[in-house]
Structure 1
Amino acid sequence: MSQSQHFDSQYEELLPRPPAPSLGAAHGQSGRPPSVPAEARSGPVVAQDPRAATLILTVGLPGAGKTTRAKELAATLPALRLTPDHWMIPLFGDSLAGGKRFVLEGRLISVALQALRLGTSVVLDFGLWGRDERSALRWLAQSAGAGCQVVYLPVDRDVQLARVAHRQATAPHQTFPMSEAELDQWREKFQVPDAAELNGGAIPNPPTGWPGWQEWAVDHWPSCTDS
């Protein structure tokens, strides 16, 4: 498949979908080793207005299986799935491209907020290593009148290394090179979601110096607007 064909197939996912039902059915299909309890991955589904859309945040390191899980959730709910690498690689041939990733993510978040307000659930397949990122998105979903669910996918180091190597060998056009040293550095930086996040608890205040999560989000994801 050519890069343009690959991009076109991902673009089709931007088409509106019907409003999403509750997440209960989707979480019954974990697709993960039984040794990892479901509650450790995503927490119980938070009760909400069944008519409201839901923003699902897939959280995990490279090789954790985020995109596979995001595809499952998007198909089951149904929901719009937004995966940055499926845009960055066809457009720029690189995952970061000199900071362009954060600009792109800002636009994808804007699309997600518009979809939520229209009653369409969204799976945001970003990785979201930082707690502040997740808190900002939980707040933005709430401001859009939607629910939010954090779906965490842990991965052991050896499994991660094997998956990354396999993906690079079999589908290099869908990924980018990642060294073992880089993966170890990223693992140290990753902030594992706590019980409050997984259970839909109270959203903490933004970091000191920021008046609100909206302002933090716009600074972190340039171009993150509702238009």
Structure 2
Amino acid sequence: MTTLFLMVGLPGAGKTTRARQLADEHGALRLTPDDWMIPLFGEAESDGKRDVLEGRMLWLALEAVKLGTNVVVDYGCWSRDERSAIRWLVEAEDASFRMVYLPVDDETQRARIAHRWATTPEETFPMTEADILDGRAHFEEPDAAELGGGAAAGPPSGWAGWREWAASRWPSFA
């Protein structure tokens, strides 16, 4: 069965390293927004362009899954709603969804971010202490139900379905 692997975690957790391994192991298409944001815009968040890019990547990921190609989506997916929407969209295509959550402690995260900036600045973005703290404050850690692979929760109140929610979250997905 075709599988979409969703990388979940904070910056410095090792998501992209693990995403590369999974892509190699499973002959998967790897979609990492940072690989596109830097060459196209020179920054991580360029006036909402990251959301637009992620929406097209999600659309591409689902098209690839329909064609029988494994995919690794390396977004980080900090919110439970994002993860639930992607899970639902993948399963609606009769594909397998596998969440890969990589937790990281404060000290390791800061060390990895500093190392990445020192060794491969052309492949990453500078992160301030405020950026790190903001990320930790907004990250919704997956719970046991999510990690156990249960069915995706329903969409938030006011949304007809996950497809509509996703089109709002990632404007270019629709």
TM-score, normalisation: structure 2:
0.98
Aligned-pair distance for 1:169?
Answer: 1.2
Determine the structure 2 residue equivalent to 1:104.
Answer: 53
SS of the residue 2:156 aligns to: coil
Deviation of the 1:178 alpha carbon: 0.6
**2:144 matched residue in structure 1:** 195
Which residue number in structure 2 is paired with residue 3 of structure 1?
none
Correspondent of 1:157 among 92, 101, 106: 106
The answer for unaligned runs of 5 or more in structure 1 is: 1-51
Per-residue deviation, 1:197: 1.3
Partner of 2:20: 71
SS at match of 1:106: helix
- 1:85 has 2:11 as partner: no
3-state secondary structure, aligned to 2:36: helix
Aligned mates of 2:68, 2:148 — CA distance in 1: 22
Q: Which string of whole-angstrom CA distances, capped at 9 and with x for unpartnered residues, describes residues 185-225 of structure 1?
A: 21111111111211210211111111100000000001114
Identical counterparts, % of pairs: 60
- For the pair 1:143 / 2:92, whether they are aligned, the reply is yes
Equivalent residues, number: 174
Cα distance, 1:92 vs. partner?
0.4
Larger Rg: 1
Q: Distance in 2 between matches of 1:135 and 1:82?
A: 18
Cα displacement string for residues 21-53 of structure 1 (whole angstroms, at most 9, x for unaligned residues): xxxxxxxxxxxxxxxxxxxxxxxxxxxxxxx21
Note the aligned Cα RMSD (angstroms).
Answer: 0.8
Structure 2 unaligned blocks of 5 or more:
none
Higher relative contact order, structure no. (Cα contacts within 8 Å, ≥ 6 residues apart): 2
Residue 168 of structure 1 aligns to a residue whose secondary structure is helix
Residues 5-154 of structure 1: pairs in structure 2 closer than 5 A: 52-154=1-103
Deviation above 2 Å: which 4+ runs of structure 1? none
